[in-house]
Structure 1
C-alpha cells in the first residue's frame, strides 16, 4: 500500500511475501529510521543508538545497551530496586488514606517510574512525593517526552524544518540542554569519586557500569555520546 503523508512517500508492507523480503533479505538496507525534526537538537540523531544507521558506531552502542542495560544479569540485579520503589508508592498511598488526602494516581505513578529510571541510571531519586522542589524535574522529563511524541508538521513537510512552525525543535533543544546540565553534574561527581579513591564504593547502576566498560574496553565512548546514550535510556527504560 502506498501512502503520501505530507511530502513523505510511505509504503505499508501488508503482504507476507513482501514482509519477508523487507525483514529478512533486505533488512539492513531498510533498517534505518526516518529522523524526526526534534532529534536534530544537539545532533542527537548522530549520536543516539535510536537513530544511527547500521554501522560500527551503532553496533558498539547496541552492544553496550545489550550487555549493560538489558542483560538478564542487569535486570535481576535491579529487582530489589523495583520492589523498593513499589514499596514507597504503597506507603505513600497508605499515608494519604490515613490522612484523608486525595491521591493523584497518575502523578504518583509518574514519580515512581521516574525514580526507578533515575535510580537505575544514577542511584538517585529525581522526584519526591508531595515535594514542590521536584516539580521542575518532573515537568522537564514530561516535556521531553511530549516533544518526542507530538506530531510535527516539519516531519511531514521537511521544507518547514528551517521555520520550525510549532517550535518543537526549539523546545527540544531547551529540554535537552537542561537534562544535559543534570547529567554533567552527576557524571562529574561520579568521576571525581572514582579519581579520589581507587577503592571507592562501587554503585550498582548503569553509569558505573558504562564507565567501567569504557575503561576496560578502551572504548571510544566519549562523555558527549554517553550523555546521549543516557538520554535514550531515560526515555526508554
Structure 2
C-alpha cells in the first residue's frame, strides 16, 4: 500500500511540475528566486534603486517572484510604451493592494479600483468637472493667496535669520491649497490643519509600505495583524473618514454660500444627478473615494517637487543664478506674481522638467495587473501577472540620458519633450488611462511657488554648512521625499 502511495505522490509531483513548466512559456529573464519569499529579499530599502540594478543584468523587462506573486518589471521607454500604450487596456487594472484597500474600504477609489465600465464613466466625469484646464485656471486665486501667505512667512524668517524647513512648509502649503480647492476649508494655522497634515503623512507612509498580504495572500494577513499594519490602516481610515464627513457636512449646511464652486460642490451635484454619470449613480462613498485621490495624490507630489528643485538649485549655484536672472529680467518689480508670468520663463520650465526627471516623486508607478495574456518585448506575460513600471530606472538610464546623475536643465533646450505622458523617456505622472489626472493642478502650484521663492529671495545654507554637505538621498514611500529635510535661509532682495 505504501508503495502505491509513494507512486501516487511522484506522479502528482510530476504533473504539477509539467503544468508549471507548460505555463512558463517564453517568460522574461530574471534572478533566481528563493523558496517561499521568492525575490523579496532583493528589493532592499529602496526598491526602485534595487530593481534598476537588477535590470542592468537581466534587461529592461524582468521577471520576479515577490512572495507568491508573479511580477514583471519594465524599465525602458520601449517596454513601458508597450505596457502603457500598446497594451494600455489589457494592463490598466489594479491588483488588490492591502493598504489602499484598508484606507478606502468600500469607497470607489479611482486610483486603485479595477478597470471596468463604471471606472471609465466615473473618471471621465471627474476629469471633465475637476481637472480640465478651465477648472485648474478657476482655482488660481486660491493658489495665489496661499503662496502669498508662504511669502509672508519667508519674509519673517529672513528678518530673523531663521532657516525655512522646506519639507514641512511645502507640505503645509500644498495641503492648504488642496483643502481649499477640494473641500472648501481653510486649515491654515488651525489645530485641525495640523492634525490633517499628520494624518496625511501617516497615510502616505502606509501606502509606501509592503504589506505581507500583498505577497502572501493566504497567510500574510496574520503577519500584518501581528505587526500592527492592519490596526494602523484602520485608525488612519477612521480619521480620514471623519475629515471627509465634516467637509461634506459643511457644504450641505451652506449650500447657498457665495464664492467659487469647489470640488465637493461638483461631486454633490453628481450625487443629486444634476451632473450625470449615465446609468450609474454616484453615492456618498464614491464621493469619499474620489476625495481620497485628491487628498493623497495631490499633496505630496507638488510639495516634494518644489523641495527637490530648491535642493538642486542650492547645490548648483550657476543654475540658481541663471534661473533667478531670467525671472528678475522678465518679471521686473511686480508686487503680485501670477501664473501668467510663467509663459516666457523658459529656463525655469527646464529646471522643473529636470527636477521631475532626476527625482520623480513616484519612482515606481502604482502596480498594474494584466487582464489577459499579452506579449511584451517578445516575452509572454500571462493574465494576472503584476506589472511594475520603474520610472526611476528610465530617468537614470545612461542609454536614454547623457550624464543622468547630473542636474542639467539645459538638456531640455530646444526639446519638445514634456512630462504629460506622451514622451516615454520622461514619465513622472505615468501615461495612458491611469495617468495622474491632477497633474495640471499640482504643476500650477509648483511653478507659482518657485517663481515667488526665486524672484523675491536669495537663498543660503545655514551657518557653517557647505554645499557638499547637502544630502541628496531620498526616503522611500509611495512618493520619495528628501530623507534629510532641506533647510535654507532666505535673504531679502529689492524685489521682496
State the TM-score, normalized to the length of structure 2. 0.43
**Is residue 153 from structure 1 mapped to residue 188 from structure 2 by the alignment?**
no
Q: CA deviation at 1:43?
A: 5.3
Q: CA deviation at 1:46?
A: 6.0
Tell me, which stretches of 5 or more residues in structure 1 are unaligned? Answer: none
Structure 2 distance, partners of 1:35, 1:166, is: 20
Deviates more, 1:158-167 or 1:173-182: 158-167
**8 A contact 1:32–1:54 mirrored in 2:** yes
Q: CA deviation at 1:102?
A: 4.3
Match of residue 217, structure 1, among 264, 269, 275 = 275
Deviates more, 1:162-171 or 1:46-55: 162-171
| Shift in alpha-carbon separation, 1:13–1:183, aligned structure 2, 3 A | closer
Q: CA deviation at 1:160?
A: 0.7
Structure 2 counterpart of 1:62: 123
Secondary structure class of the residue paired with 2:249: helix
Structure 2 counterpart of 1:206: 263
**Is residue 106 from structure 1 mapped to residue 167 from structure 2 by the alignment?**
yes
Structure 2 counterpart of 1:187: 248
Q: CA deviation at 1:185?
A: 1.5
| Shift in alpha-carbon separation, 1:19–1:233, aligned structure 2, 3 A | closer
- What is the root-mean-square deviation in Å for CA atoms of aligned residues? 2.6
**8 A contact 1:46–1:52 mirrored in 2:** no
Secondary structure class of the residue paired with 1:3: strand
Secondary structure class of the residue paired with 2:168: helix
**8 A contact 2:107–2:288 mirrored in 1:** no
Structure 1 counterpart of 2:148: 87
Q: CA deviation at 1:22?
A: 4.3
| Shift in alpha-carbon separation, 1:34–1:45, aligned structure 2, 3 A | farther
Secondary structure class of the residue paired with 1:111: helix
Structure 2 distance, partners of 1:182, 1:13, is: 38
Equivalent pairs counted in the alignment come to 231
Structure 2 counterpart of 1:138: 197
**8 A contact 1:40–1:169 mirrored in 2:** no
Q: CA deviation at 1:58?
A: 0.5
**Is residue 123 from structure 1 mapped to residue 180 from structure 2 by the alignment?**
no
Structure 2 distance, partners of 1:208, 1:62, is: 17
Structure 2 distance, partners of 1:186, 1:105, is: 28
Q: CA deviation at 1:68?
A: 2.0
Q: CA deviation at 1:37?
A: 0.8
Structure 2 distance, partners of 1:119, 1:43, is: 22
Per-residue Cα deviation, 1:96-149 (whole angstroms, up to 9, x for no partner): 222444432221111101101101112222342xx6664322211111111111
Q: CA deviation at 1:161?
A: 2.1
Deviates more, 1:48-57 or 1:23-32: 23-32
The 5-angstrom pairing of residues 39-58 of structure 1 reads: 39-41=100-102, 44=105, 47-58=108-119
Q: CA deviation at 1:72?
A: 0.5
State the TM-score, normalized to the length of structure 1. 0.85
Tell me, which stretches of 5 or more residues in structure 2 are unaligned? Answer: 1-61, 299-496
Larger Rg: 2
Deviates more, 1:212-221 or 1:223-232: 212-221
